[in-house]
Amino acid sequence: MIDFQVSNQDGTARAGKLDTPHGNILTPIFMPVGTLGTVKAAAPEELKALGTQILLGNTYHLHLRPGDELIHKLGGLHRFMNWDGPILTDSGGFQVFSLAKLLKREEEGVVFRSHIDGRKVKLTPESSIAIQQNLGSTIMMCFDECLELPAEREKVQRSLELTSRWATRCKDARTTDQALFGIIQGGGEEGLREESLQQLQEIGFDGYSIGGLSVGESNEEMYRVTRHIAPRMPSDLPRYLMGVGEPRDLLEGVEAGVDMFDCVLPTRNARNGSLFTSHGKVSIKQARFREDSKPLDPECQCNTCQHYSRAYLRHLYLSGEILGMRLNTLHNLHFFLNLMKNARNAILENRFAAFKKEFLEGYQQDISSGGCHPESE
């Protein structure tokens, strides 16, 4: 199991320590996404060197390929991907409702067609837990229904009640000592979010996550819901905001009292040449970097910024070179991990509000020498 302790609280922002059988995690923390048992373009040894403390894997994808039974036969996901630190596995619920062709949704579970080969697959709360137990992750997630927002209140109400019933079945199906988190639903309705949280607390979990955000609602609505529900979540257990990843989103979540975050944004953007810097996002393919010998971000201490120029990164990207994807990925992950590290230090020193303000002011401004212009949205 796991044990969580809050080291310091600054307003509602908190710095903590999560002890797990696979190692300790200092929070707040960003979790790189290794959907298929790999963080794209980065080796586990490189992730460790960056300061990665926990990775995220995905039940849906690993069940379809290569298969959770095969992974179990080969010693579990940790051994399979050569990662000895903590792993959190998503339940597959979001992917079922976003990637697969959904054929049937009922009380029992869902039937869908695989996005890989079109075969019919059935996923239930029990099978989701069985898959995650085969994978051997440190933290498992309950199977939930994820709605696209906005949605009518009655539909959201029915969905959160289904998610709660599925959560009960997930807990009943667990036969290992792996931790299990419940997922709070309720759309943009604060009252429904509270209702979902209460139902999950009555069941009892090792941690709680805020699901169903970053699925079509505005940023301000996401912030409003997070600010409302996060402080109401159990103070002695980890709080996880799922699938949210812009730098401002992370800091808003930290300020609300969230401990854990994940998103594909830094790695996916890196492969597309969109890089995060202390002065905003940069599209490295732009012609203005053709003869630019400066590092991507002069304030960054990552290997990419210490050894390679903007001109070289642009050349690699335009040439389609694999090294470009790798250098970009390692930089973006360093940026996100370092942001959380600095946020934690600020909380421990009771200066988080000032840290957040200073970071966002720098992140949104143009600089004329040594830095980069933010990418236009």
pLDDT band at 215 (very low <50, low <70, confident <90, very high): confident
Residues 6+ apart with CB under 8 A from 92: 58, 59, 60, 61, 63, 123, 128, 131, 143
Given 200, 234, 263, the domain boundary residue is: 263
Are 153 and 256 in the same domain? yes
Are 322 and 276 in the same domain? yes
Give ∠ CA 263-41-179 in degrees, rounded to 5: 45
Is 372 part of any domain? no
Q: Which of 13-22, 130-139, 292-301, 367-376 has the lowest mean pLDDT?
A: 367-376
Is 52 part of any domain? yes
Q: What mean pLDDT comes out for the span 7-22?
A: 98
Is 373 part of any domain? no
Are 140 and 191 in the same domain? yes
pLDDT at residue 367, as a whole number: 33
pLDDT at residue 95, as a whole number: 84
Is 158 part of any domain? yes
Which is more confidently placed, 371 or 284?
Answer: 284
Task: Give tens-digit pLDDT for 233-283.
Answer: 999 999 999 999 999 999 999 999 999 999 999 999 999 999 999 999 999
Q: What's the total number of domains in the chain?
A: 2
C-alpha distances in angstroms, 136 versus 24, 40, 174, 239, 245?
17, 21, 12, 21, 26
Given 206, 230, 263, the domain boundary residue is: 263
Is 337 part of any domain? yes
Active-site residue, 19 included: no
Active-site residue, 206 included: no
Q: What mean pLDDT comes out for the span 207-232?
A: 94
Task: Give tens-digit pLDDT for 60-112.
Answer: 999 999 999 999 999 999 999 999 999 999 998 888 877 767 778 899 999 98
Given 243, 263, 283, the domain boundary residue is: 263
Instruction: Exactly one of 68, 144, 259, 262 is catalytic; name it.
Output: 262
Instruction: Exactly one of 10, 68, 90, 249 is catalytic; name it.
Output: 90
pLDDT band at 158 (very low <50, low <70, confident <90, very high): very high
Task: Give tens-digit pLDDT for 75-89.
Answer: 999 999 999 999 999
| Parent domain of 177 | 3-263
Are 304 and 184 in the same domain? no
pLDDT at residue 104, as a whole number: 87
